[in-house]
Amino acid sequence: MQEAADQIRHHYRGRGFLEREVFNVDKNFDWNQFFNATGNLSLFCELKIIELRLGSARLDDAGKNAIHAYLQDPSADFLILIVGPKLDVAAIKTKWFVQIEQAGVLLQIWPVPREKLSGWLSQRLLREGIDADHDATELLADKIEGNLLAAVQEIEKLKLLANAEAGSLIKLDLKTVMQVVADSSRYNVYHLIDAALLGDSLRSQKMLSGLRNEGLFPLVILGAITRELRALLPMLEKKEQGRGLNSIIQSARVWFNRKQAVSKALERMTVAMIWQLLDQARRIDQSIKGMSKANPWDELSLILLVLSGSKTASMTKASSD
């Protein structure tokens, strides 16, 4: 998003939009500032970029009215650049957003998923004159996953350390990445669960460790796992009744980018396993609330291992009982 906005600003600076005014829009923002900025016209007015940085994907009524009032009589002297967080499908279909989109251009910046991150990094490295081998790219992807800003910073650091002549191609291997690149990866609970559903136990354990180091309260993770287990339960019941996976996933309205993860989980799990995991989740809840001496982080690690298809001694015992 940052780089896309930079390119837009650069493009319009080349066309004379040399002034720039930035407004950070939160719930306390006074839209009179926007009215004043866009209404201050004169014969000697400079071309100006007016940037609205939205703190929320939805505008309040004052914001909608202010932008729509401007769109009734837009000025060629201004470029209105609106930057905001991800819009959901419902927001994109609202009247206020459709009116804005019809008057301008919508550019959606999608996150780079883990399976495409290595390719993205390879292209980015080559653009900066760095030729990285496969192992180096994979390790770099592990270290910066979920933090593309860190990726850009690490690439710049690698260029400086290489101190190569202009125009020459820098070779990057696994050893260099291990020595130079810091672990700047950032994860969220949803990526953690999807990694487990996909059967990637090593990655899910790394994510869990990262979230713990960031100080995330374990009940947040447990809540997300429990919701996922309860969502899988009716799908697995339909599977055991003989329905096909594609039909089950479609009727459950699983998001497109999660279909692979959910399919993998449905292929290897059973209704009985879900009930065992829900019972384990209950015990983890007790440990988080101090009702048992178990370590909640160790227990979360175990439940994620089982969710990813790994066998554990505790779950094997539960199955035999």
pLDDT tens, residue by residue, 199-220: 999 989 988 998 898 888 999 9
165: left (phi over 0), alpha (psi -120 to 50) or beta: beta
Examine the pLDDT at 317 and tell me if it is beyond 70: no
pLDDT number for residue 319 = 44
Q: How far apart are CA 270 and CA 33, in angstroms?
A: 58
* Topology adopted by domain 2-103: Rossmann fold (3.40.50)
Tens of pLDDT, residue by residue over 138-187, are 888 888 887 888 888 888 887 777 655 555 677 888 887 877 776 667 77
Examine the pLDDT at 7 and tell me if it is beyond 50: yes
Q: Which helix (H) or strand (E) holds 272?
A: helix 271-288
Burial call 210-235: b when 16+ CB within 10 Å, e when fewer: bbeeeebebeebbeebbebbeebeeb
Distance of CA 27 to the CA centre of its chain: 24
Domain positions in the chain are 2-103, 114-180, 189-320
The lowest-confidence range among 84-98, 117-131, 166-180, 264-278 is 166-180
How many angstroms separate the Cα of 210 from the Cα of each of 44, 189, 217? Answer: 55, 11, 12
Residue 27 three-state SS: coil
How many angstroms separate the Cα of 13 from the Cα of each of 46, 79, 154, 310? Answer: 12, 11, 29, 56
Among 1, 51, 61, 50, residue whose Cα is nearest residue 27: 61
Please compute the mean of the pLDDT values over residues 6-12 and round it to a whole number. Answer: 93
Specify whether domain 114-180 bears CATH 1.10.8.60.
Answer: yes
Q: How far apart are CA 279 and CA 295, in angstroms?
A: 16
Could you tell me the pTM of the whole model?
A: 0.57
Tens of pLDDT, residue by residue over 274-284, are 999 999 999 99
Please compute the mean of the pLDDT values over residues 88-106 and round it to a whole number. Answer: 84
Among 212, 227, 215, 214, residue whose Cα is nearest residue 300: 212
189-320: CATH, from 1.10.10.1590, 1.20.272.10, 1.10.3720.10, 3.30.565.10? 1.20.272.10
Q: Which residues pair with 52 in a beta bridge?
A: 23, 82
